[in-house]
Structure 1
Amino acid sequence: MTLSSSSSNTTSDALAAFYDEAAQLLGDANVSRDHLTGNVKDQAGRDVYGDPFSAQDVNQPAGAVRPATVEEVQAIVKLANKHRVALWTVSRGKNLGYGGSGPVNGGVTVVLDLHRMNKIIEINEEYCYAIVEPGVSFFDLYEEIQRRELKLWPSVPAIGWGSVLGNTTDRGFGYTPNGEHSENQCGMEVVLPNGDLLRTGSGAMEDNKSWALYKGGFGPSFDGLFFQSNYGIVTKLGIQMTPAPEAYATIEIDVPREEDLVPLTATLSDLMRRSIILNSSSLANIFRIALTSRVPEVHARLAQYMKPGSFVPDDVLEEIRVEQKWGFWRSYFALYSSVEMLPGIIKTVQRAFSHIKGVNIVIREFAGEPGHYLSAPKDVGEEEIPHNGIPTIMPLGILNSRGGPGGAHTCFSPVIPPSGRELYDWYLTAKQRITDAKFDFFADFHVYPRYVVGIALVIYRLEEENGIYDLLDHLLHDGAQQGFFEYRTHVRYMDTVASKLKFNNSAHMRFATLLKDTLDPNGILSPGKSGVWNSEVVRATKALKAAAL
């Protein structure tokens, strides 16, 4: 039994009363009394709330409310406390692969949908930052930068329709030198569980000029409390961006052997620690390289195997690799510099990877001119990997690759040391698990100076959903045995990942529960987010488990 199955005290009468009062506050059009309408539309025009990649109702919400201002959020929080109605906060609800807008505790939780809060409060070109509300998407921010002709390259994730604020507070990432979004966040405004309003860091002082510049503030720092948590509702966030460079180059490095993952990863992370490479490098395996290629005959060969109960065999992938002269692994990253520096940095990169036998380096260079800063859309153009900050939704096309339209995906995303050795050992275990379950291993690894996020993306059809959950159970167990846990996870597995944090009799989760009880005694904000519940829920679940023995 999970904690979520024993956590709700909401009655149907209380829920009805909450909806009625919320409608008086927000208008009927901004209150959904079921999960069927009101969400930000997807590519197919659907506006249903919940997990778009599930045919089950485990994480299906009871309904939704859509405030447009901070004051409305505060009022909704007070209503939720009054009626003891749980709220599940989403910014735009596009956390695909991790549950979308679905809450941990389905059936009784109301989605607090913030997509109508879509103001860009400020963009500062000189200091390279923006302050945004939750409903601002990566497309919105990019398009406003282009409209003003600002010399800024904002970091965007692989799929750009999500929320800048939501992605950042869930520790998401992008591809420019400011791509670690949680590290480049500076300043928050937060509605607390009692409806009070907090500003973090320098924002604690009224009209402070450094709110989006100096994160530390004075005294205790609170920003970290609101990442992947249920201690408050972030309504404004400062995000720092990359200035447009004079010179720029994108680099792809192919290595031919599976075991070359070790020196490839080690060299990348070393160059990042030395500040030669400034942005995160992503790593693809031969399956991903083939699937995302623009070679029709390759797609046709993959399609023979990409269907329920099947996966593309290694020998077929090796034949494709040799025929197309691709690597088994491919690294994607970029270089950002002055005109004078770029040639030297390129030579350094070429020298660093020359020790890997059979390495192939492809460089696309934009040399620029001294004193002229490159325009991403005019001078570079849209890229497969958005190193220049131009958002895209093109990667969604891979969902239709496993037997036609209507596919889904999930991710297992452990954090691993960056030597390459640990990553390779984990990869071999995870690959075996995934292929044993009759799925394909799609590598979406992200290398940072001191860690790797080893995302294993798995494409599936909804009729294979139960098999996916069995697979994730195994991957979570294996990862824990190897000493790794996920940097974020699907809502179904938040309790499971949290249960692995066992140091000192689970001191981390005991402290998280203490904070929850103190800040949110009624348990109204996103119950179960990241495995954090009020103590009464924890106690009730333990009692139910004991009674079942």
Structure 2
Amino acid sequence: MSTPMLTEKYSGAPTRLAKEAARARDYIVSNRTLPTSSPQTNGLRLPPDVSLETFETAIKELQNILGEANVEVNDKPLKDGWYLDHPNTHDTFHVIPQSSLVASAIIYPSTVPEVQSIVCWANKYLLPLYPISLGRNLGYGGAAPRVPGGVVVDLGRRMHSIFNIDAENASCVVEPGVTYFRLYEEIQARKLPLWIDTADLGGGSLLGNALDRGVGYTPYGDHFANHCGMEVVLPDGSLLRTGMGAMPGPEGKDNPTWQSFQHAYGPAVDGIFSQSNLGIVTKMGFHLMPALNENEHQSYVFTFPRDGDFEQIVDIIRPLAQKRILGNIPQIRHVIQELAVTGRGKETFHEGKRPMTDDEIHEAAKKTPLGDCSWVFYGCQYGSPESIKQQLEIVKDAFFKVEGSKFFLPENVPPGHYLHDRARVCSGVPVLRELDWVNWVPNGAHMGFSPIAPTLGPSARLIHDLIRAAHIKYGFDLFPTLCVAGREMHYITNIVFDRSDVAMKERAVAMMREMIATCAKHGFGEYRTHLLFMDQVARTYSWGDQALMRFNETIKDALDPNGILSPGRNGIWPKRWRGKGWELGTRREGERSV
């Protein structure tokens, strides 16, 4: 396995993280028993209803337009790779057979006109396109196309420019291949007084994460809410600019207000391009945060001793968040993640494959820097030193009402403790640390279950108990991470599995389907999900006899009558594909499409 660096590759790690990247790679290599690549079991997977002759004709035509090197047929062995050297043909964290969801070809455009040419080409041959920014949507399907044999359009490899970093306006414009690492390093190189808001891992695409409505951990943590302006290639190949970009600027230049105000005149359309298959976003503007000095932000952690404290913790957070006393979107994590994020496997703390018991978790936690506890709260305050001191007094007063709670600052824990990485993320510095907990099992991979619940103690207890019961039933350790705001919380469950264990993967799929259905009965719906479960999740939003789905399908059929753009993504199928057996959730995997 290689360790690409940012100086060599647009998607690599920065030099400052060279040791951490090598360490993360070594963890993964030492934990792996699977081969690094495997042959495709059935050879080249063609797009549905497309003959080999038609496919070869289409590929040759596009190679003449883009150049042979930029249109790659996927007839080679499948490489799983790892986070920094990932495949763009399938899902690194495959939870079904590796070649089930696999691309027939990968296309590498370098300009917006080339993207438009690709869309027109796909309409001509009725080929399904699946655009990716980087394919690092790990836990949710990676780079895999929803329809096997779909053609992946890899926007990141040759479209990774950063435009117009404006220090005064605190904004920028990026292409799909720009990572949090890349933007951060560029801002540092220019010595600009700006912060970015990064996801847990710094190698993801700003544009891709925002379109999936991902979150970060500074006051600018809602990534889609802090975008400003898009450029979109529509399914007919035409080009659209949203917001103030819809008005031309003077002398044919971009409108100078494009990154200043999110909306235009009339309906706000940006939202229909998030979590959708209605266009290919080729540029996106973002608001950045004015940089703070070292003494103007303070990360910290609270621990709470009992599982039963959970309701009280959530009820304490709610008013603090609503009054904006809490400075960011904080995280609550179960203490088992204090064990996993060390990068050491489960076998370090436990014998056998069964889930760790509560007693075993607590016994192992006693040996960690935070000590024995059940829940860990990671937060950060922002402002002047005086205001931070006042904020922390209010926060301490509230959390110390939980009997036995403890408070830690970064200086209270060893240098290698996770709190130091959390402090970097909360100050806009992208890191790699979150890779470590995937090594909990051999050939470690994970799948995310991410429902939304109200920030209310009884709701928090209910959803936690439902998810915990499912994990006990199917034999998985429970790894909950909750991003808690004033009115809602993202209960993100990381299902860690061994890619070599077929039975374990089948249990993971079954557990996902059960949790989706069970939580939906109580009004807890996922905000994003893995490719395999998009149909099921979309159908849980069923108010008004599937009014939302019917609305989405109406827009899809109007904008994409040939159904060429990401059919099935987020459960939205165009008319040409709808009802033809491609939907999942009412049948077993393998009966039709995968």
TM-score (norm 2): 0.83
Structure 1: distance between partners of 2:564 and 2:288:
34
Matched residue type, 1:516: K
The change in CA–CA distance for 1:362 and 1:421 in structure 2 (over 3 A counts) is same
Pairing 1:19–2:59 present: yes
CA deviations over 1:385-434 (Å, ceiling 9, x no partner): 611111122221222221x3x21111100011011321221111211211
Pairing 1:412–2:412 present: no
Matched residue type, 2:363: E
CA deviations over 1:146-195 (Å, ceiling 9, x no partner): 11111222111111111100000011111111111011111111000011
Structure 2: distance between partners of 1:177 and 1:41:
34
Contact preservation (8 Å) 2:229, 2:241? yes
Q: Which residue of 2 aligns with 1:191?
A: 233
Structure 1: distance between partners of 2:314 and 2:458:
9
Compute the displacement of 1:124 (Å).
1.6
**Alignment counterpart, residue 110 of structure 1, candidates 133, 151, 165:** 151
Secondary structure at the counterpart of residue 390 of structure 1: coil
Q: Which residue of 2 aligns with 1:257?
A: 306
**Alignment counterpart, residue 30 of structure 1, candidates 49, 66, 70:** 70
Secondary structure at the counterpart of residue 100 of structure 1: coil
Matched residue type, 1:418: T
Q: Which residue of 2 aligns with 1:276?
A: 325
Matched residue type, 2:530: H
Pairing 1:141–2:183 present: yes
Pairing 1:302–2:341 present: no
* C-alpha RMSD over aligned residues: 2.6
Matched residue type, 1:171: R
Q: Which residue of 2 aligns with 1:332?
A: 378
Q: Which residue of 2 aligns with 1:233?
A: 280
Q: Which residue of 2 aligns with 1:481?
A: 521
Paired residues for 1:313-328 under 5 Å:
313-322=357-366, 324=368, 325-328=371-374
The change in CA–CA distance for 1:505 and 1:382 in structure 2 (over 3 A counts) is closer
The change in CA–CA distance for 1:118 and 1:147 in structure 2 (over 3 A counts) is same
Q: Which residue of 2 aligns with 1:58?
A: 100
Compute the displacement of 1:35 (Å).
6.2
Q: Which residue of 2 aligns with 1:266?
A: 315
Q: Which residue of 1 aligns with 2:219?
A: 177
Contact preservation (8 Å) 1:332, 1:385? no
Matched residue type, 1:342: I
Contact preservation (8 Å) 2:341, 2:436? no
Secondary structure at the counterpart of residue 101 of structure 1: coil
The change in CA–CA distance for 1:166 and 1:43 in structure 2 (over 3 A counts) is closer
Q: Which residue of 1 aligns with 2:28?
A: none
TM-score (norm 1): 0.89
**Alignment counterpart, residue 393 of structure 1, candidates 432, 446, 463:** 432
Matched residue type, 1:506: Q
Structure 2: distance between partners of 1:339 and 1:44:
38
Q: Which residue of 2 aligns with 1:465?
A: 505
Secondary structure at the counterpart of residue 224 of structure 2: coil
Structure 2: distance between partners of 1:163 and 1:543:
28
Contact preservation (8 Å) 1:35, 1:64? no
Q: Which residue of 1 aligns with 2:554?
A: 514
Structure 1: distance between partners of 2:153 and 2:373:
45
Q: Which runs of 5+ in 1 are unaligned?
A: 1-6, 366-379
**Alignment counterpart, residue 259 of structure 2, candidates 201, 212, 218:** 212
Secondary structure at the counterpart of residue 361 of structure 1: strand
The change in CA–CA distance for 1:233 and 1:39 in structure 2 (over 3 A counts) is farther
**Alignment counterpart, residue 474 of structure 2, candidates 422, 437, 440:** 437
Compute the displacement of 1:339 (Å).
3.1
Q: Which residue of 2 aligns with 1:75?
A: 117
Secondary structure at the counterpart of residue 144 of structure 1: helix
Structure 2: distance between partners of 1:303 and 1:72:
53
Compute the displacement of 1:350 (Å).
1.2
Secondary structure at the counterpart of residue 341 of structure 1: helix
Matched residue type, 2:153: L
Contact preservation (8 Å) 2:557, 2:575? yes
Secondary structure at the counterpart of residue 530 of structure 1: helix
Structure 2: distance between partners of 1:48 and 1:182:
24
The change in CA–CA distance for 1:177 and 1:273 in structure 2 (over 3 A counts) is same
Structure 1: distance between partners of 2:533 and 2:498:
20
Q: Which residue of 2 aligns with 1:428?
A: 465
Identity of aligned residues (%): 34
The change in CA–CA distance for 1:300 and 1:53 in structure 2 (over 3 A counts) is closer
Contact preservation (8 Å) 1:175, 1:385? no
